[in-house]
Homo-oligomer: A and B are copies of this chain.
Amino acid sequence: MPIIDNAVYVDGVRTANPPSLEETFETLRDRKGIAWIGMYRPNRDELQAVADEFGLHPLAVEDALKGHQRAKLEKYGDVLFLVLRPARYLDAAERVEFGEVHVFMGHDFAITVRHAEAPDLGRVRKRLEQNPELLALGTEAILYAVLDEVVDGYAPVIAGLQNDIDEIEDQLFGGAAEVSKRIYELEREVMAFQRAAAPLVDIVQSLERGFEKYNVHVELQRSLRDVLDHAIRTADRAEGFRTLLQNLLVTSATLVTEKQNDEMRRLSETSLSQGEQVKRISSWAAILFAPSLITGIYGMNFRFMPELDWPLGYPLALLLMALLSGGLYRAFKKRGWL
């Protein structure tokens, strides 16, 4: 059953739970109270039945059926049509999930149509039933209470977003420069949240003017201003998040380049130290190879090589080798190659 609750209130007190819409309508006329019908994802026929009883405008009914509306406030004759986008934060996925609730408010009736689990309108109804003086102020009290529920529901979203921005800051400045994807996606969520929440400032201000014009009880006006206060705070914070995330994106790009500098410095040093090694290795190769040339010379088989017949030829050759290598060693050492 798409009709979740259906009650008639007189002076703020629940006086009837009519089993059908027809009886609701009848009771309403008899007792001069107000009716509040709560629906959940009604189909066309179900909503049309309510629309027929209360004279809801086809265009508003169309919107309420199709869903996926932007937050807005429209007036059809004496009936207000309000679309709200409640939100909650899925911290694990870093996503904002949106609900949708529509309110039709006439002089003596309020019809609330939910398209998602959120917001908890049962809680709203309970709150009002526990405050008969508030509910006795008219259907505007229901409108206010639904708005208050939705706007209060934005606070945990703001807190969750703030928390993730803090995490991103820690991640970014803690060395993990590659957070641009997370920043981008979080800003996209903030933008979607702004689309849901920011219009409420105008909507509530517009309702305020209406409440003043139609002399709605001053206490309801003040309560609505309290909702406005929270709506403004929400919009301000979300706007601030946008700027922070933009700055984080630019900072992240800079930090990525700073990291690149570190990498490049490491590369430079590696390269430089390789150059040193090549020098050192080549020097040692020369020191080792120079005596080889001498052994090669005295290994030649010429018949007439006087040194070969010198009694001290061999030790002199060894000495020559040692002198050659020693000389090279000292020369390379002097040039700083070893």
CA distance A317 to B299 in the complex (A): 12
| Chain-B contact segment, one of A13-21, A85-93, A218-226 | A218-226
Q: Is the interface of A mostly helix, strand, loop or mixed?
A: helix
Partner of A300, one of B188, B279, B314: B314
Chain B proximity of A248: nearest CB distance (Å): 7
Contacts A267-B267, A317-B302 known; A191 to B257 CB distance under 8 Å?
no
Known interface pairs A191-B243, A293-B292, A318-B297. Does A260 touch B261 (Cβ–Cβ under 8 Å)?
yes
Determine the distance from Cα of A184 to Cα of B247 in the docked complex, in whole angstroms: 7
A296 on interface, CB distance cutoff 8 Å: yes
Which residues of B sit under 8 angstroms from A317, Cβ to Cβ?
Answer: 300, 302
Say whether, besides A236-B195, A261-B263, A291 and B302 are in contact (CB < 8 Å): no
How near does chain B come to A37, taking the closest CB pair, in angstroms?
23
| Contact A249 to B249, CB < 8 A, known contacts A260-B261, A300-B301 | no
Contacting residue for A304 out of B178, B255, B285, B313, CB 8 A: B313
Q: Are B279 and A278 closer than 8 Å at their CB atoms?
A: no
- Complex: A131 Cα to B300 Cα, angstroms: 115
Within 8 A of B (CB), among A280-298: 281-282, 284-286, 288-293, 295-298
Q: Which of A4-12, A69-77, A101-109, A137-145 contacts B (4 or more CB under 8 A)?
A: A69-77
B314 touches A302 (CB 8 A): yes
Is A311 in contact with B304, judged by CB distance below 8 angstroms? yes
With known contacts A263-B264, A295-B297, A317-B302, A254–B253 Cβ distance under 8 A: yes
A171 within 8 A of B: no
Within A232-268, which residues are at the interface with B (CB < 8 Å)?
Answer: 232-233, 236, 240, 243-244, 246-261, 263-268
With both beta carbons as reference points, the residue of chain B lying nearest to A300 in the complex is identified as B298
Copies of this protein in the assembly total 5
- Contact between chains at B279 and A277 (CB < 8 Å): yes
What residues of B have a CB within 8 angstroms of the CB of A1 in the complex? Answer: none
Question: Given contacts A274-B275, A308-B302, is CB(A286)–CB(B288) below 8 Å?
Answer: yes
Per a CB cutoff under 8 Å, which of B74, B251, B305 touches A184?
Answer: B251
The docked-state distance in angstroms from the alpha carbon of A287 to that of B217 is: 101
Contact of A126 with B by CB under 8 A: no
A250 touches B247 (CB 8 A): no
Nearest B residue to A244 by beta-carbon distance? Answer: B188
Partner of A258, one of B178, B267, B299: B178
Name 6 extra pairs, CB < 8 A, besides A263-B265, A267-B271, A301-B305: A183-B251, A184-B251, A195-B236, A263-B264, A277-B279, A301-B301
Can you list 28 contacts pairing A with B, beta carbon distance less than 8 Å?
Answer: A59-B222, A59-B223, A59-B226, A76-B222, A177-B258, A178-B258, A181-B251, A191-B243, A250-B253, A252-B254, A256-B257, A259-B261, A260-B260, A261-B263, A267-B271, A274-B274, A277-B282, A281-B282, A285-B285, A291-B296, A295-B300, A296-B296, A298-B301, A300-B301, A300-B317, A302-B308, A304-B310, A304-B314
